[in-house]
Amino acid sequence: MTDLIEMSGIGKAFAGVVALRDASLAIRPGEVHAIIGQNGAGKSTLIKILTGVYRRDEGSVQMAGEDLTISTPREAQDAGISTIYQELSLVPLRSVTENVMMGYEPRTRLGLIDWKAAHARTREILARFGVEIDVTRQLGRYSTAIQQLVAIARAVSLDARLVIMDEATSSLDDQEIETLFSVVRELKKSGVAVLYISHFLSELYEICDRVTIMRDGRTVATHEVAQTTRLGLVSEMLGRDASEIAAAGQTALSGERSKPGATLLEVDGLGTRTGLRDVSFEIRKGEIVGLGGLLGSGRTESARAIFGLDKLLRGEVRHHAAPVIDTPARAIALGMGFLTEDRKADGIIPHMSVRENITLALLPRLRRFGAVDRARERELVQGYIDALQIKTSGMEQPIRELSGGNQQKVLLARWLALEPEILILDEPTRGVDVGAKFEIQSIIRNQVAKGLAVLLISSEFEELVEGADRIVVLQDGYSVTELQNPGITESALIGAMVHHHERLAS
C-alpha cells in the first residue's frame, strides 16, 4: 500500500538552532496515526512543515507517491490537508454554515453566495456525524463540543484526505470526547487519514492504529499501538531504560511516603463571593494534600482564597496557628508560593528571558547596596536550569520560545528559588507531555521529601491518587470528605466526588 503521506530526511533550523534533523513520518490512507514526544521534541515543527507554515531546509515530502511542495496553509488545504488546532480557528459570531464554508462558499451564476446550497451542504456534512443543528445560528451559541465538530465538518467540506487534530479533546468532557471519537471512526471508514496529537496516552490506545515517537528533533520509532505498552512509549520518548523509569516512577509517585511533620497551614471554614461556602483542612510539613472535585466544586477558588487573592467573607487561613494570611504579599512573605492554572495568562512574562522569569519574585533578596547582584543571580538561575533540566539555549532566551513543559519548569524554579514552606500547585502538569509530566512530578516529590508542603490541584484523577498523601474532596464549595493514602483508588475518589453529602442535601 502506498503511503498517503511520506516525510523523510526532514531538517529545519531557526537562527542556527536545530529543531529537526533527519525526521520522518509515514501515514497510511484511512488510518488514525498518533505522533508523540516531549515538548520540544519537534512534533509541532514537523506538522507546520507539512501544513505549509514553515519551509523545510532538508528532506522530501510525498503525497500518494508524488512529490509535494507546500508553501502556505492554503496550499495545504488545496492539497487535502486540514488542521484542527487546540485553539479553534473559528468565528463565533458567524453562523455554523459560514464557518464551515468560509472561503469555499458555493456561488450562483452571478457570482453571489448560494446560501441555500451552502446551508444544505453544511447540514449534509454534519449529518454524517449524527449532528442535527440549526446551521443558520451563530456558532458561539453552541457548546465547545459542537464547535469542535464544526471544525471537523469544515475539514471534510474541503475534501480533506488528511485531518490533523492537535489536542482536540483538551476542553471536552467524557461524553463529548466519545462523540469526537465516533467522528474520528467515521472519517477512518470513509478513507480519510487522521494525524492525532495528544498528551493523553489513554486516548492513543482507544482511537489510534499506529504511533510515531519523536525525541530531540528526530523520529525515534513507529509502532502499531496494539503492540506497545505505556511504559515502553515513555521510555522511548525520554531515551531512558524502561526499568529505570518504572523504579523512579514508584519512588516519585506511589512509593513509600515519608511521615509528615508539624502543621503549617490551617484552612478553617472558608467562604467567599467566588463560591466557597465551608472549606476546611490542614497541610503539614513534608506532605502533598490533593484537592479533588468536579468542575465548579471550588478547587481553584480555594487556592486563590488561601493565597489571599480572593477576599474571605468568613473563615480563616492560619499559618503556624496565627490568622495572618490575607494578601498575596503576606502569603509570600510567610513562605507560600502559588503556581497558577493558566501559565500563559497568570504565570510567564513572555517577552522576558528565562533568567528574568525565574528571579522575578526573588529580586528584593538579590539586592546588594541597592543594586541586584547579577553574578549571584546568574549562578542561582543556572543552578535551577541544571537541577530541573530546563531545555533552553541559555538563560537569556525569551521564555516564550520554550516548550510548554519547560515554561512550567521555569515557573516552578521561580517559586522554589524563594525556598517556600508551602507551595500551591494548580494543574501543574496540564498541557505538558508525558515525559515532562513525569519529570515535574518527580521534582515535586523530591522537594516534599526535603520538607516542602504541597497543595495539589488536578483534574486528572490518576495524578491525585498516585501523587497525594491525602485528598480533600470538594463539592459545591464545601469540603465534604477526606481520603487517605496509601489505598485510595480512582473509583473511591470518583465516588466521593459525586456523593451527595448530607450537609448539602439539607
pLDDT tens by residue, 104-155 = 788 998 889 999 999 998 998 888 777 889 999 998 888 777 887 788 777 7
List the end-to-end C-alpha distance of the chain, in Å, as a whole number. Answer: 65
Name the range with the highest mean pLDDT among 35-39, 168-172, 433-437: 35-39
pLDDT top residue among 48 and 88: 48
Q: State the pairing for strand pair 210-215/32-37.
A: parallel
Same domain, 51 and 66: yes
Concatenate the DSSP letters of all residues of 87-102 into one string.
Answer: S----TTSBHHHHHHT
Owner of C-alpha cell 501559565: 343
Q: Is 246 a member of any domain?
A: no
Name the range with the highest mean pLDDT among 11-20, 219-228, 496-505: 219-228
Distance between CA atoms of 44 and 39, rounded to whole angstroms? 9
CATH number at 223 reads 3.40.50.300
Q: Is 177 a member of any domain?
A: no
Amino acid at 295: L
Same domain, 55 and 197: yes
Same domain, 300 and 381: yes
Instruction: Give the up-direction half-sphere exposure of residue 229: CA atoms within 13 A in the CB hemisphere.
Output: 6
Same domain, 3 and 142: no
Same domain, 305 and 320: yes
Q: Is 342 a member of any domain?
A: yes
Same domain, 335 and 210: no
Q: State how many domains the chain has.
A: 3
Q: Is 148 a member of any domain?
A: yes
pLDDT top residue among 24 and 433: 24
The pLDDT mean for the chain works out to 84
Distance between CA atoms of 38 and 217, rounded to whole angstroms? 10
Does 471 have pLDDT greater than 60?
yes
Range of the domain at 369: 254-505
Same domain, 333 and 465: yes
Same domain, 201 and 259: no
Same domain, 325 and 456: yes
How many CB atoms neighbour CB 195 within 10 A? 24
| Three-state DSSP state, 293 | coil
Q: Is 339 a member of any domain?
A: yes
Share of the chain above pLDDT 90, in %: 36
Same domain, 166 and 220: yes
Extract the C-alpha cell encoding 255. 512509593
